[in-house]
Amino acid sequence: MNKILITGSAGFIGFHLAKTLLDHDFIVHGFDGFTDYYDVNLKKARHDILLKRSNYSYTIGMLEEQLKLDEVANKFGPQIIIHLAAQAGVRYSKENPRSYINSNIVGTFNVMEIARKLKVKHLLMASTSSVYGASTNMPFSEVENTDYPLTIYSASKKAIEAMAHSYSYLWNVPTSILRFFTVYGPWGRPDMALFKFVEAILNNKPIDLFNYGEMSRDFTYIQDLVKAIFLLVNSVPQLDPNIKKIDCDSLSSVAPFRTVNIGNSKTVNLHDFINSIENILKKKAVINNLPMQKGDVKKTLSDTTLLKNLTNFTPDTDYKEGISSFIDWYKDYYKK
């Protein structure tokens, strides 16, 4: 299984994952729409790095373009599909909810149709910790109830999880749903907290701090996330009564379908997070304290027992180390 189709290959996670797979001699085809949700030049810069690799090819297109997606997949013939492309952003989903329906639900349906038609060996799809909604039952476990999403973004991800289970059941498509917890690191998205905080501090601009900073997140370093996905590629869900069930498994009782958290299993208060940025930059932040935004949650924390049982790996990069790596990249990329 050496041919992998990655959607969202010019995105933050897709770029890092593609690099890792290429380093391990996989043949990768990327599919990306280069949308302008954030700086397209950043996407192009990531993409240019991938283009230097002989085992990488790509197509520019939108997930909603079913015929183009079909043509690409039929020509490339992947054994594995890793679906990362999506309209991201919790807060933006209040401003432009339709884009989440088109990209995340319609686009994902098109990807699942490809997986069905090609009978791929493994379909891996990105989801989010946001599906846990306002639950305070922490750490979040994969078997936790996720019926109460708080935003259109999280609702769209919950929807594709349900759609994927039905496809897995009906068409025997081995499917892994990967729930990401606040991913950060070099080449990160400009709309995410670390990028915004560093940019604001360096440019003497205030940081908007919601709920007066009384929030905490399970920050997951990009290389830890990519390693986890890489290891899960070969951990294909199987509905086989002769295979002993793994402890804490979320494997469906009726389909080759599994949900896996990928997080750092530690929670960091935003005040501590910003303090670390200030210490590295040797510069104080200007804080604009604001009340809680509707749709935000106060805390996230992952239970990664299943990930450990499946891969013998647990993400463990300390957030201070991860922040330092991001700042080194940021200063180099933007010549600060």
Give the tens place of pLDDT for each residue, 132-181: 998 989 999 999 999 998 988 889 999 999 999 999 999 999 999 999 99
For residues 184 and 219, the answer to whether their CB atoms sit within 8 Å is yes
DSSP per-residue string spanning 186-219:
TT--TTSHHHHHHHHHHTT-EEEEEGGG--EE--
pLDDT of 209 reads: 92
Report the alpha-carbon angle 131-198-215, nearest 5: 40
9 Cβ neighbours under 8 A, 6+ residues apart: 15, 18, 28, 30, 31, 32, 47, 50, 58, 84
pLDDT of 162 reads: 96
Instruction: Walk me through the domains of the chain, giving residue ranges and CATH numbers.
Output: 3-182+222-265+302-315 (3.40.50.720)
Residuewise pLDDT in 10s, the chain (336 residues): 699 999 999 999 999 999 999 999 999 999 999 988 789 999 999 999 999 999 999 999 999 899 999 999 999 999 999 999 876 655 555 666 777 787 889 999 999 999 999 999 999 999 999 999 989 899 999 999 999 989 888 899 999 999 999 999 999 999 999 999 999 999 999 999 999 999 999 999 999 999 999 999 999 999 999 999 999 999 999 988 788 778 899 999 999 999 999 999 999 999 999 999 999 999 999 999 999 988 889 999 999 999 999 999 999 999 999 999 999 999 999 987
In this structure, the strands spanning 216-217 and 268-269 are antiparallel
pLDDT of 88 reads: 65
How do residues 174-217 score in pLDDT, each as one tens digit?
999 999 999 999 999 999 999 999 999 999 999 999 999 999 99
Rg (CA), the chain: 19
The pTM of the full predicted model, rounded to 2 decimals, is: 0.95
DSSP per-residue string spanning 110-155:
HHHHHHHHHT-SEEEEEEEGGGGTT---SSB-TTS-----SSHHHH
Catalytic positions, written as ranges: 153
pLDDT of 94 reads: 62
pLDDT of 273 reads: 97
